[in-house]
Structure 1
């Protein structure tokens, strides 16, 4: 039976969509700043590409994940494609593709480098052990990221060589490297430069924006207006790169975000700051006051993340004790009122409200 598409079932909002076959296998992951318009294009156009025609023929259901802005949809799509590797997605499947960060390496004399997050669960522990102190990103523009890498490296005199040479190269002679390899500056001086660069990354580039403004004004004072204009463009790009987003963050723990309604709960899995999955589940208990606690104690009886972020809980001490008694793990349960964790809860509420309305209209089935 072919999939019956109704445009009114989907919001005119930014988000990602997961097209699935009759077995629930994810065929394709996409994103849009207007989900209704994008999805309509699959079903109302005469497609000349055989690949798209085949995809549409296999679709049995479409799951959407709503986000706050276009930046979040770009980053979430990148994560979901790398995690699920859908057969109809060609781009972004490789781990060294998509949106990367800038980070200082773990070398004795660090350099600034491009970093792609590893989304393979088996690699997380190894990655965490060598995790650098600070990163900046992720960057939507590879061109801007590379230009920024060059500017920061030059500004702090950081080395660019992967293998340390014994003599300085051309970069030192043209003033783009400090020459630490040949002792032109001491190791302690070089490490101070890397410390300053690390602070800049930790502050999400705010110190860099001020530095760029100073450089732009210096170019303008020397009437080098083309360079000043280019510097202004870099500032604008950096300010955009710092746009608020909550779907791909830096974190050392795993979290589940639970938004409870009267009859269902939406569970969002966040692995080391990366939003991975949404599940709409039915609450079994008829007693609303105990349903929330019972759900948590049942679901996490054998295995739990490091933290649960919830909008409501009846007896937190009882729940924590019950889970610790079975898993021997000290579980953190948070009921935030503001900040990043509250924003995650609000994103869950946003998706819960959309999905519960679809359930009421018989358009979506919860996970048993």
Structure 2
């Protein structure tokens, strides 16, 4: 759904909002949570506020500058709110409401599946460890979530080699639990009965079970095993090692060499596990480092869990929001969801961006941890390095998800169909060509042509054009007419290196003037190619058949595709322009100075050795070169200053394109 826009391009309030605004005026000014609803009464967004009325007014008056707000308020038809006692209570309630309703406009996991956990059934007389996807049973402690089910199962297997403990799937443990639960008043007697009647399970024989099923261990000793298991899962492995070493020495002193040997093998298991893990910090820090990677409407998060200075695991999550929300909202939404799911809260959480509610989030995390938890933003050192690694892993996780689910293909097909409908095309634009002009005050004017085939860059079809017209100043319209005339002229239209047919859609970078120039040139050539212009400021699409621009929905596949096409053409054009300017600067800048011929040029370059040193020289230093008069030295100096000023202007104009230079397979067109 497209949000309404005024003639000036600013969002305007939908007609139904005044009645909602009147209702908002009666909302209390206390802390709480608000729930926006659509026409069906379904909750589409949940938020918290220190002052409910003031925060909700920002929505109905569209003073909230987030891109999704106009679209969201277009479908809002009502709301509910819940008043609480403090902002902290509002944060907890907000997370519970999001978990209950899964609103469309809130940041959440992309798939609503339950993630694996490792659980310890603490309410049992002899607690067992188990792999599970549920995390709501009372009396059970959960560790996770894990996003790799295989890794969770392997962790249980390795842990039981180090510390023998019953597993929840063992039939003999289940039988023993039923018997113990039926005799809660006399556990020692029940243990004696199990010792007489019980059948040892297979795990007991191979050293992974402690022998609950056959009465070989009492509750005190078993509780010690459970405590070690929970410390192990919580990352406190040094404490386990110290305890096992004490037990091994004690057994050796008592001449219990068989028991000492079993403990030694358990220590070897833990040592082998530590050898496989990279030591990232010199101190025993407890940190979660969270990196994000965003696409247009989807993103991924990677959590590196560091305990005692070692990365004990990493978990990757795919989220249902991407660049359609800002990175602060994405990070804050993920933090609330992730730490609501896990009981393992560290002493520090590291993120790349600062959050407005950090003190409140730190209070909430500290309450869950039972101790202080800080949110930190490293910019250098070991933490910053590991945070970059987390971001890289998030990117790979998102790519794997998109390949596995066919998300990219589905979204590309959706984008082509949306463009066909929005731009009134005869067929989906399977071949899109886009042109952009890059110049510096009319010098080194170039044009780029990028091609997208079936919604993807077709770099072998890219072309670069040097504008031949003599221009005293920048003239994008004349340049656009020239490049379209050359591209769609009879010669190149018949050249198979360009294409076997005309494009299904021609995109020009710019608004109505650039679109008009393109239409005039196509008309002069007698061609009927669908064409549109994309203005960068408001991302409006101008079409020939309507004075009002088409506004593609924010976050839609079609808007993402056409922006990608436009941005790629801009990157390609400015890359070519920079190549020409760099070449000219290094070769012929002195040729433009009156009074500098080949002999003086050689003398100047011999004196300074490089253009970098010459550009840093003063007028007096240039005049000191033998054979260079003062007036010529001044002319050289002024020319160099003019070139530097123009270069600074180009760099400022190009800042933010962020794209890598170069493009294999593209050529300079005739």
TM-score > 0.5, shorter chain as reference? no
Interval containing the TM-score (normalised by the shorter chain) = 0.3 to 0.5
Q: TM-score, normalised by structure 1?
A: 0.36
Q: TM-score, normalised by structure 2?
A: 0.22
**Rg bigger for which structure?**
2
Quick one: higher RCO (CA 8 Å, sep 6+), 1 or 2?
1
